[in-house]
Every structure is written in structure tokens, then in C-alpha cells.
Structure 1
């Protein structure tokens, strides 16, 4: 009975320690994208979880406010204020817009389609990914991990469904030797800007879509270097549920996983610099969208290089709160992006409700402003 009065002080002490650790991790994750991952890997890893650290910081701050503890309440609020800039892209507070009268609008989808495999319903009687594209109403569909629309890739897609896809999108472009493709209702051609020097892989490809009324849209479809983790290594996060599992996972993280992460961040930094050089070669006021599988989150090092000072983030400008686009292995991260510049305005950007791939599609609506 004499230990009962000590419970609250002990809990408060534990909460103080947890709060300080979370606040520090939130700050590191917020600005991890300012640290070159070729030299410092841990800040880049923490940057992946920045939205989750923000949520934890907000909850802890609220708890301290409810307990009338001014110091830790203020510390939590100041932490969030210090993270305002990276929060503006990772945890935005905006809403979708409507086009001005007379503006020409279009819908564009960006999707790592995983060769239209169905990871959730492998026994589905039809090809749900192709059905989604046919029924999407998009004007342009940009695809990663799509080679040549062969029967091997369009598994379970009936001839009628494939015919519907061709009729909806009679124009397509992309080299047969790469996994980056574009489908369009309007004439489209490759513009010749691409990266092929990363182990023989195309990390991005650029296209020109000729819309009605003489509007030309430049599109850069991206598939940057992945983390290259095996299925066993991807299970490490899921196994951190017990003390023994956590110890094993930390040991694994310090070994091969951290090494692979370091290499992935380094390779993506190289990809990002090449992509940024391609962006800089395009006329500044020309309508341009850079979209696809960045394999990295908003405010990361690669994202910051690509975005530069002139690109705008369609998600950050039209949404409220964080999201995620990768949906397997408990890696719920926002690693697919859609950036733009030139005579365009983002009206909305939604995460598509189709779970055939390990990535959700991004569905953007834009308006030509001139």
C-alpha cells in the first residue's frame, strides 16, 4: 500500500523520458533530408517515419496539456513548430481545389503497377489492374514495372478487356527494353530525356503529350533505385513484436539491411541529380509533371534535390494530413510522388483505391492555367 503513491510519479518520469526521445527523433526525422545519406544514413532512415513521429509528438503534447504540465507541453508544441517546413509537404493542411471557369483540365495517373500482378487476390478471375485503368477516366496513365503489355503481363485480362484498354488509350510510348510506359488518349511521344546508366535500368523517361487546343504536357515518369531488400529482410519490421524478435531485428538491421539502405540512399541520390539535370533542360514555364515511384518520402534528400526551388508538390498543395502509397510488409510510407511546375495548377491528388500492386496509384487532376 505504500508503493501506490509512487505510481504516478514513476509514470510521469517514464513519460518525460519517452517524450524527450520522441521529440528529438521527430526533429532528426524532420531534417534528415538535409543530411547527405552518402555520409549519414540514420537520419535518412528516420526521415521515412517523419509523419509517424509528428503524430506521436502531437499526442504526447496533448497528454502533457491535459496533465497541466507547462514545460513539456511547450516543448512538444515548439518541436512541432520547428518542423513546420517539412510538415508542409509530409503532413500538409490543404484542401482540393476547383478549376477556374474556362480552364482546360485533365486527369493523370501514376502507378507502379507490378506488371499487373495481383498480390492481394492472386486467384481473382480477371485482371483487376487492367480493369482499374479502363474504368479510371484518366487522360494519361504513367506506369512503372510494365514492360510490353504482353499476355504474360496482362494475365487473366480477357481479349475484350484488352480491347477496351486499347480503345480507351490508343496512344502509348516507352522503349520495349524498359519498364516505364505511358498510355494516353492523345498523341504522345518520348522526348529523349532518360537515364539508363544505373545498372542498365531506366530510372526515368520523359514524354510529350499533345492535348487538344495545342496544349503540350511534358511528363517525366520515374522509378528510382529501390531498397533492394529480400522478402526475409522485409519481414524484420513485422518480427519486432517480442523482446527476442526485437533483438534479432536490431542485429539484422545493423548488418545487411543497414548496408542495403545505405547503398539505396546513395544510388537514389545519384538518380535524383541526373533527374534534376533533365528537369533543368526543359523550358521553365513549360507545363511539366514529374511523377512515379521515387522510393523515397517527401522532405527526403532525393526528394529535395528533384523538387529544387521551382517544383511544387501536388499532394502537399491539395490534401490534409499524411498518407502512404506503399502497402506491403508494414512499410506504410509515402514513396510515390507527383511534382509539377509551369503553366499548371494542381486541383487534387488522391491515392487510388486499388490494391493489386504493392503500390497504390496516384490520381491527379490538373488545370492548364494559360
Structure 2
């Protein structure tokens, strides 16, 4: 009787797990409640692993079923909790061109009064750290720059394009979404030590801070790669409101409905935005690297669409959760780097020692293996 009940529970967990995976693949614009089912996927994965352990101790023959399910769904497990304790990173022996890539949501370098600290120390340190970082390519979201001649009182403090770009030996491509009355620029940016041979901006309906940009870069090997930098729809949800909503029944009543509306709007918008981008990605003939503030968790439609086409750097080489949100909400990874199949991923790091934004920067090294000689000759005919 006891074993029969345990077996029924195991079947229910497996059914739950498969349903949650199905929910991940449903666009929120078609049926947004499915996103809540998708968010239960980590729990279903964990319970299935618990079932494996339970049946190994009780009856190894029954354990085969949840073990097979765990094997088949392991890529989904790796999305939220990467496990690669014995992995060795590729080295120069693979040949080809290494590319060091850094991505960061810089939160407009804390220029607003409510974000500033004493003497704008965090702003100064963040810009300096980015300028001195050895990365070949920088992709920055929520970028801010005060060009020469802007009518502000900070002098050269926020002349970030010059400091991170030309003075650091990098070309700059800034996708501006707003230039205010003082001449200050808001948007996103790509900085590259490799020549930028083509560039473009992709808007979602209208050009806002939530948009995408790309740059085609010519490597010393002669290969051309495309780097995308994008920032999907924000939730517009205050962290304090979220904490208050689950800390008490009163907080849930007071904050819950408004948070739900904003949550729904964000889900629907991001599903439309990611579908727009995936169609662009499918038409690109170059090896691609993607940097993104997804504003979505690894168990979401947005992440799933990218994972179907690309390697996620953290899920491929990392260990642990790889949280990137610098705030009171734990274990939140919303900043990601992806690479097309041509690349080998060397390493990936979340820079927890750089706390100057509400997002921690991420960096990775990618190797683009040299094409075989026969392939190169065939391509030139």
C-alpha cells in the first residue's frame, strides 16, 4: 500500500514536470497564465530527483523511470543550477580566435540623485572599471553618456563613451533612445577592440530603453561575427513592493493586484519581443554572440526560445545558480550571454565584486575554431 502510494506520487511528479516544460514553450501573448506553470519547473525537477533517490533505496527497477526522466530533462535542470565540476576550458590548442566579452546593465551609472552616493564614487569607479577591463567587446544596457558640450555640472565624470571607447582603444556604437535638454544621452552601447564593419538598431514597436542593437565585427582572423545587445521589457515592479506582497496577508492584498497587472504586461511584451529577435537571428549568416538583460528567469518562454537556438554560457560552463541581480531577491539570474553553435565557450564569470548597479556584470571567453582549409577554399570559389 505504501509503495503504491509512493509510485502514484512519482507518476504525478513526472506529469507535473512534463506539463511545466510544456508551459515554458507557450508564448505569454497567447496564454499568459502558462508562465506560472513554467515557474514551478525547478520544484518539479527537484522532486523528480528526490524520487530517483527514494526508489534507489526502495526498488531500483522503479527508479529507472524517474531516472530516465531526469536524464532527458537534464538540460532544463542546468538552466537554473549549472553543474560542471570537472569541466576543462578550451585553450589556444583548439585554434581560431578567442573573444573576451563583457555585458552589464549599468543603471545609467547612478546619475540620478536617488541613486548617487557620496561624490558619485560608484559612478566613477564603475566607468573606470569598464574602461580598464581587458574584454575585447563590451555590451552595456541602460547606458548613459554626457558628450563634450553637454550642459551639466559634472564636468567630464560621465563622459563615458570617450573613457570606455576611444581612450580604452575601443570603437563605440551607441544606440540612443533619448537625448535630454542638457545634451545627455540614454540608451545602449557596444564597444569593440575589433573593427565595427556594420551596425543596426532593432526597435519593438517604438524605440525605448527596451530594444536591441547589433554590430558586425571583423576579427584578426578575417572572420566576421555579429554581436547582439538587447534589453527586454522591464517589469516596472519595485523590489520593496514584491517583498511586501509575500511578507504578510495585508501586503498581498495591498500590493498583489497591481503587481499582477505589471507582471502580465511584462510577460506579454517580452514574448513578442523575443519572437521578433529570433526571426532576426535565424536570418543571420555570421557566428553570433548575444548579451541580454532578459528581465526573465531561466524558466521562461524568452529564455527557452534562446536556449533552443544558442548555448547559454553559464549553463554550459558554470557551477551553481549564477545569480546576477544585486538586490534583496535571491537566486535571480536575468542577465545572460548566449553563443551560436560555432563557438566554444571557455569560461564565464559573474563579477560579484562590482556592486555599483542593481545588476552584476558578467564576462566570458569564447573561441571561434579555425575553419578547415578545405572549407575555406570551398567558400572562396
Corresponding residue to 2:127 among 127, 130, 139: 130
1:212-233 residue CA offsets vs partner (Å, 9 max, x unmatched): 2323220010101111214553
- Quote the residue 1:257 is aligned against: 259
Unaligned residue ranges in structure 1 (runs of 5+): 1-17
Aligned pairs for 1:103-142 (under 5 A) are 103-117=96-110, 122-123=117-118, 125=121, 127-142=124-139
Deviation of 1:187 (Å): 2.1
Residues 160/78 of structure 1: CA separation in 2 closer, same or farther (3 Å cut): closer
Deviation of 1:81 (Å): 5.1
- Quote the residue 1:173 is aligned against: 173
Aligned pairs for 1:17-96 (under 5 A) are 29-45=20-36, 47-48=38-39, 50-51=41-42, 54=45, 80=70, 83-94=73-84, 95=87
| Residues 292 and 337 in structure 1, CA contact (< 8 A), matched pair in contact too | yes
Deviation of 1:143 (Å): 0.5
1:57-106 residue CA offsets vs partner (Å, 9 max, x unmatched): 757976x6899799999998677556424113332333351224243212
Question: CA separation in 1, counterparts of 2:103 and 2:133?
Answer: 12
SS in 2 for 1:360: coil
Deviation of 1:269 (Å): 0.8
Question: CA separation in 1, counterparts of 2:260 and 2:14?
Answer: 24
1:105-127 residue CA offsets vs partner (Å, 9 max, x unmatched): 12101111111229998236352
TM-score using structure 2 length = 0.74
Residues 216/160 of structure 1: CA separation in 2 closer, same or farther (3 Å cut): closer
Question: CA separation in 2, counterparts of 1:197 and 1:161?
Answer: 27
Question: CA separation in 1, counterparts of 2:17 and 2:176?
Answer: 44
Deviation of 1:181 (Å): 0.5
| Residues 136 and 193 in structure 2, CA contact (< 8 A), matched pair in contact too | yes
- Quote the residue 1:282 is aligned against: 284
- Quote the residue 2:5 is aligned against: none
- Quote the residue 2:326 is aligned against: 327
Which deviates more from structure 2 when the two are superposed, residues 315-324 or residues 261-270?
315-324
Which deviates more from structure 2 when the two are superposed, residues 131-140 or residues 268-277?
131-140
**Counterpart check, 1:187 vs 2:195:** yes
| Residues 130 and 161 in structure 1, CA contact (< 8 A), matched pair in contact too | no
- Quote the residue 1:314 is aligned against: 313
TM-score using structure 1 length = 0.76
Question: CA separation in 2, counterparts of 1:170 and 1:161?
Answer: 10
Residues 276/100 of structure 1: CA separation in 2 closer, same or farther (3 Å cut): same
| Residues 38 and 265 in structure 1, CA contact (< 8 A), matched pair in contact too | yes
Question: CA separation in 1, counterparts of 2:206 and 2:335?
Answer: 20
Deviation of 1:167 (Å): 2.0
Report how many aligned residue pairs link the two structures: 347
1:179-233 residue CA offsets vs partner (Å, 9 max, x unmatched): 1101122222553351242464551111112222323220010101111214553
| Residues 291 and 337 in structure 1, CA contact (< 8 A), matched pair in contact too | yes
SS in 2 for 1:356: coil
Which deviates more from structure 2 when the two are superposed, residues 221-230 or residues 65-74?
65-74
What do you get for the CA RMSD once the two structures are aligned?
Answer: 4.1
| Residues 145 and 160 in structure 2, CA contact (< 8 A), matched pair in contact too | no
SS in 2 for 1:305: helix
Question: CA separation in 1, counterparts of 2:241 and 2:333?
Answer: 20
| Residues 275 and 306 in structure 1, CA contact (< 8 A), matched pair in contact too | no
| Residues 33 and 43 in structure 1, CA contact (< 8 A), matched pair in contact too | yes
Question: CA separation in 2, counterparts of 1:338 and 1:231?
Answer: 24
